């Protein structure tokens, strides 16, 4: 069995970012949102007011998509604490990681069958299931970090995962763009090329995840009592909840993480649709998204090294401030803005600089603050629930303001959440180890 800090163990763990980040880029950010927006805007899909019918109600396409994601986040927030408690009790995090990965990859491949108005239910159902699979697996993946690297290595190891994720997702996105935009593979049909790209994402995700499965330890207990797993799971969660109240730094950090996640995750999930509403062409959007990924590699590396010098909290405050600037720029952009493409590229560069940085630092900071415990899945389920509730708040806020006022008002609201996150995290003076 590999020891904590072993390079092979770290590489195996980080490789799951390589496997699953293609979902974040191709499905959540790039190809599918643009495909969905284009299809729902096509002739005969929407009514004269630009609304589409689903479950007997008329929706704007953007709001329906946002609400579908919000439903998935609520489901993950509800089930992950229970499942994490069971995983800690039984010592079988890997089984849950595999199960959610399988659900996510199969659901992504099922998006292939979304071809028009009659199959809108396919898009909504499998968007929800794919999101549950992705975020559910991330709970158990993150929970391995304290078991993979000691505290002094966790910033760099967490950043390594995000950097590998960016590299892998860039590679597959380029393959998908060739598939969609050229005749290299023997045909030229943008819609069918997009559909095939969804299948490729699912195969990539489940295929490369096998590297992680083979490298992570099998920690399942040899003998397990035959009693009620769900009750044991509840007991584990209640125990961790009481401990979280005791540790002041952890509690403040989770509040800060909640506020910053509203902004960060909502921007990541709606950036492509925001670009479509601003009138950017598909190639400009894809170029911006690729720019975000390339700069993201550099940003994750630089900020992990900066945190080694000035500490996690100061570094996180810098990233939050940059996110606030992103929101203020976005608020001032409209379809009539001259050279809108250049402004969008600037936004992309700024987002890329801090996107992976803030996510990897948040993950490693939380890991550092944990007490010595075997209940890592339960602790990270609270981290995950915090993020999922933040996503629900963010997507619902964004969708409502977009429907009632304008998309610019939605962006401005996110800036307010970043300001609140900055104030909150300033109350943490240092990342103390609470064990």
pTM beyond cutoff 0.85: no
Q: Which of 277, 376, 318, 218 is nearest to 38 (CA)?
A: 277
Task: Name which of 302, 312, 317 is nearest 366 in CA terms.
Answer: 312
With bands split at pLDDT 50, 70 and 90, how would you rate the model's confidence at 223?
Answer: very low
What mean pLDDT comes out for the span 120-144?
A: 90
What phi and psi, each to the nearest 5 degrees, are found at residue 294?
-65, -45
414-422 average pLDDT score = 91
Q: How far is residue 200's CA from residue 299's CA, in Å, rounded to a whole number? A: 27
Instruction: Please report, rounded to a whole number, the percentage of residues in the chain having pLDDT higher than 90.
Output: 18
Q: Which helix (H) or strand (E) holds 52?
A: strand 52-54
Higher pLDDT, residue 173 or 340: 173
Integer angstrom CA distances of residue 27 from 30, 235, 269, 386: 6, 36, 10, 23
In the predicted structure, residue 408 carries a pLDDT above the cut 80: no
**φ/ψ (deg, to 5) at 269:** -80, -20
When pLDDT is cut at 50, 70 and 90, the band that residue 434 belongs to is very low
Torsion over CA: 261, 292, 210, 304 (sign): negative
pLDDT of amino acid 235: 65
Q: Give CA 93 to chain center in angstroms.
A: 20
Q: Of the ranges 18-22, 110-114, 277-281, 338-342, which one carries the lowest mean pLDDT score?
A: 277-281
Residue-averaged pLDDT of the chain:
81
Please check the confidence at residue 277 and state whether its pLDDT lies above 90. no
Give the confidence band of 375 by pLDDT, cuts at 50, 70, 90: low
Phi, psi of 426 (to 5 degrees): -65, -20
> What is the rounded average pLDDT of the residues 135-156?
81
Bigger pLDDT: 171 vs 300: 171
Element of type H or E holding 59: strand 57-59
Record the tokens describing residue 123, joined without a space: 């898009």
CA angle, corner 220, sides to 217 and 226, nearest 5? Answer: 175
Confidence of residue 196 (pLDDT cuts 50, 70, 90): very high
Write the CB contacts of 309 (distance below 8 Å, at least 6 apart in sequence).
none
Q: Read off the pLDDT of each residue in 76-85 and give the average, rounded to a whole number.
A: 74
Q: How many CB atoms lie within 10 A of CB 175?
A: 17
Region 402-426: mean pLDDT is 83
Q: Which of 128-137, 209-218, 249-258, 267-276 has the lowest mean pLDDT?
A: 267-276
What pLDDT, on the 0 to 100 scale, is given for residue 112? Answer: 94
* Cβ partners under 8 Å of residue 222, min gap 6: none
Model confidence band, residue 143 (pLDDT cutoffs 50, 70, 90): confident
Q: What is the per-residue pLDDT for 384?
A: 79
Mean pLDDT of 41-66: 81
pLDDT tens-digit readout, 165-193: 888 988 998 898 888 887 766 666 788 88
pLDDT over threshold 70, residue 230: no
Token code pair at residue 213: 């499965």
pLDDT score for 431: 59
State the Cα–Cα distance between residues 99 and 365, nearest whole angstrom.
Answer: 27
Residue 44 pLDDT: 76
Query: Which candidate, 207, 205, 192, 200, places its Cα nearest to that of 176?
Result: 200
Which tokens sit at 28? 């959540």
Higher pLDDT, 18 or 67: 18
Q: Are 126 and 42 in contact (CB under 8 A)?
A: no
Q: Which CATH architecture has domain 7-216+229-425?
A: Up-down Bundle (1.20)
Tokens 């880029």, residue? 25
In whole angstroms, how large is the CA radius of gyration of the chain? 21
Which helix (H) or strand (E) segment is 49 a member of? none
Q: Using pLDDT thresholds of 50, 70 and 90, give the confidence band for residue 222.
A: very low
Residue 297: pLDDT over 90: no
């Amino acid at each position: 069995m590999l020891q904590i800090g072993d390079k092979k163990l770290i590489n195996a763990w980080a490789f799951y970012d390589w496997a699953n980040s293609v979902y974040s880029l191709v499905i959540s950010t790039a190809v599918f949102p643009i495909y969905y927006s284009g299809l729902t805007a096509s002739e005969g899909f929407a009514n004269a007011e630009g609304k589409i019918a689903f479950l007997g109600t008329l929706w704007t396409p953007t709001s329906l998509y946002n609400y579908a994601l919000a439903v998935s986040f609520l489901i993950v927030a509800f089930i992950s604490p229970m499942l994490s408690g069971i995983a800690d009790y039984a010592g079988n995090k890997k089984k849950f990681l595999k199960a959610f990965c399988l659900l996510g990859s199969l659901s992504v491949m099922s998006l292939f069958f979304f071809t028009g108005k009659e199959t809108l239910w396919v898009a909504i159902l499998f968007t929800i299931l794919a999101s549950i699979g992705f975020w559910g697996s991330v709970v158990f993946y993150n929970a391995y970090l304290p078991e993979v690297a000691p505290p002094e290595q966790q910033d760099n190891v967490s950043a390594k995962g995000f950097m590998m994720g960016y590299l892998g997702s860039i590679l597959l996105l380029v393959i998908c763009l060739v598939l969609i935009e050229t005749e290299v593979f023997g045909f030229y049909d943008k819609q069918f090329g997009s559909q095939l790209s969804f299948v490729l994402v699912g195969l990539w995700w489940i295929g490369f995840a096998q590297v992680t499965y083979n490298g992570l330890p099998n920690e399942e207990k040899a003998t397990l009592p035959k009693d009620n797993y769900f009750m044991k799971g509840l007991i584990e969660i209640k125990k961790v909840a009481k401990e979280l109240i005791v540790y002041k730094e952890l509690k403040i950090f989770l509040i800060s993480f909640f506020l910053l996640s509203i902004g960060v995750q909502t921007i990541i999930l709606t950036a492509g649709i925001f670009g479509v509403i601003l009138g950017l062409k598909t190639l400009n959007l894809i170029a911006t998204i690729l720019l975000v990924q390339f700069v993201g590699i550099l940003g994750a590396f630089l900020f992990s090294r900066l945190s080694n010098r000035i500490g996690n909290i100061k570094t996180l405050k810098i990233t939050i401030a940059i996110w606030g600037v992103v929101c203020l720029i976005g608020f001032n952009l409209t379809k009539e803005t001259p050279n809108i493409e250049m402004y969008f590229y600037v936004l992309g560069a700024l987002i890329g600089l801090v996107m992976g940085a803030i996510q990897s630092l948040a993950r490693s900071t939380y890991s550092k603050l944990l007490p010595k415990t075997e209940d890592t899945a339960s602790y990270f389920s609270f981290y995950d629930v915090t993020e999922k509730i933040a996503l629900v708040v963010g997507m619902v806020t964004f969708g409502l303001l977009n429907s009632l006022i304008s998309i610019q008002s939605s962006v401005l609201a996110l800036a307010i959440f970043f300001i609140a996150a900055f104030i909150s995290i300033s109350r943490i003076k240092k990342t103390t180890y609470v064990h």
